[in-house]
């Protein structure tokens, strides 16, 4: 593939820039694509997200209106997309997440944008809750130049939805972990963690499908086999589930084992907590290809993950995989990682695997090649 980046006009359409995996992914790739010579602009259906200022500071032009509530938000998002595409005439429109796809993808089709791309970064479980949206997505697929997944599991679902495999791409996430500014002992003291405590870290917003309730039950089951000062540090935005989780931990007698830190917009703090931890967790019921898993691996943490989406694909043999929604199996994994020698061996494998397969440079190379190939194929088809 050709990694040179001739001048392209790329319009990315996304829901917003709150703190989340897709949003951090955009913050990572868009400035890098701009540095490669691609003219990038971003249209958001929701403005004012926590990461928006950082994106703008890196030179990305951001468009979108103030409309934050249904039903006006998708209608105004569609109107903004139509207006911007007419004015700017991009070569490529690339939509991330379902709402942005339905509005932006439709606008790109109607206005004849040469290259139309949708990225799906999770399994399609959400379609069961929103069957009409799922039906509309599948209808829209046939009008896309390409669909892009971030794991083999996501790619397989896109093929099952009727998209020819030749028009489906796979680009893994890349991770660039900030170095912790302080030593492990100092970091533990800052977060109130005992020097010798066994510390697990979970980076996931407090949403039911992220499996926090399973983890609480698993901790209760595993407690007799774990050191008494074992702690689970939970980082993530509370989407209204936090109170119920704290109550559940109290009812199971493990409230003191959990440290709920909420959303950390400063990613340096997340890097510090990873450096202070002994092992990482991701216990979701559904997933695409998690940045949180890759960042834990890059920090040298053995990861204990559920077998959903691309989790097992990401860690390979550098961590432990258990079934989703299975607190007993999860408890067994927690106990297994209480062994220091096993943690160290798996952590070394994790760091090596992250550096070899999931570097930011490799990811950006794939994006540039992907866009170039699509534009060149489109030009060849028109000649």
Domains and CATH numbers, the chain: 8-174+359-382 (3.40.50.2000), 184-357 (3.40.50.2000)
Residue 182 has pLDDT above 90, yes or no: no
Identify the residue with better confidence: 377 or 327. Answer: 327
Torsion of CA 63, 69, 74, 76, to 10 degrees: -50
Q: Are 148 and 370 in contact (CB under 8 A)?
A: yes
Q: Mind listing the pLDDT tens digit for each residue in 134-148? A: 999 999 999 999 999
**Taking the model in full, what pTM does it have?**
0.76
Q: Are 115 and 84 in contact (CB under 8 A)?
A: no
Cα angle 96-100-105, degrees, rounded to a multiple of 5: 90
Average pLDDT of span 188-205: 94
Candidates 366, 373, 368; CA nearest to 115 is 373
Average pLDDT of span 163-184: 85
What does the alpha-carbon distance between residue 256 and residue 276 come to, in Å, rounded to a whole number? 18
Q: Mind listing the pLDDT tens digit for each residue in 247-275? A: 999 999 999 999 999 998 777 888 899 99
């Amino acid at each position: 593939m050709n990694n040179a980046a001739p001048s392209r006009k790329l319009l990315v359409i996304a829901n917003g820039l709150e703190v989340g995996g897709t949003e951090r992914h955009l913050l990572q790739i868009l400035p890098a694509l701009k540095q490669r010579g691609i003219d990038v602009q971003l249209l958001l259906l929701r403005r004012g997200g926590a990461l928006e200022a950082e994106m703008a500071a890196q030179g990305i032009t951001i468009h979108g209106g103030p409309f934050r509530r249904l039903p006006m938000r998708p209608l105004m998002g569609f109107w903004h997309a139509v207006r911007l595409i007419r004015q700017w005439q991009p070569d490529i429109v690339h939509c991330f997440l379902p709402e942005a796809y339905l509005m932006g993808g439709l606008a790109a089709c109607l206005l004849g944008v040469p290259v139309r791309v949708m990225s799906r970064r999770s399994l399609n479980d959400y379609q069961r809750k929103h069957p009409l949206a799922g039906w509309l997505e599948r209808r829209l697929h046939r009008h896309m130049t390409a669909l892009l997944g971030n794991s083999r599991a996501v790619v397989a679902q896109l093929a099952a939805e009727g998209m020819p495999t030749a028009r489906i791409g796979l680009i893994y996430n890349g991770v660039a972990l900030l170095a912790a500014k302080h030593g492990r002992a100092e970091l533990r003291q800052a977060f109130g963690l005992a020097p010798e405590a066994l510390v697990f870290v979970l980076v996931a917003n407090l949403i039911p499908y992220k499996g926090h309730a399973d983890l609480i039950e698993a901790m209760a089951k595993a407690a007799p086999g774990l050191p008494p000062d074992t702690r689970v540090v939970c980082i993530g935005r509370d989407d209204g589930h936090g109170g119920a989780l704290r109550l559940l931990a109290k009812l199971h007698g493990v409230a003191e084992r959990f440290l709920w830190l909420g959303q950390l917009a400063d990613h340096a703090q997340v890097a510090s907590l990873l450096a202070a931890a002994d092992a990482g967790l991701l216990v979701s019921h559904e997933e695409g290809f998690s940045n949180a898993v890759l960042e834990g691996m890059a920090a040298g943490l053995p990861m204990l993950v559920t077998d959903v989406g691309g989790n097992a694909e990401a860690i390979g043999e550098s961590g432990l995989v258990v079934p989703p929604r299975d607190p007993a199996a999860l408890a067994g994994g927690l106990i297994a990682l209480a062994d220091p020698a096993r943690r160290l061996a798996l952590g070394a494998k994790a760091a090596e695997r992250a550096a070899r397969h999931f570097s930011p440079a490799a990811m950006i190379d794939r994006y540039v090649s992907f866009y170039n190939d699509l534009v060149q194929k489109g030009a060849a088809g028109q000649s």
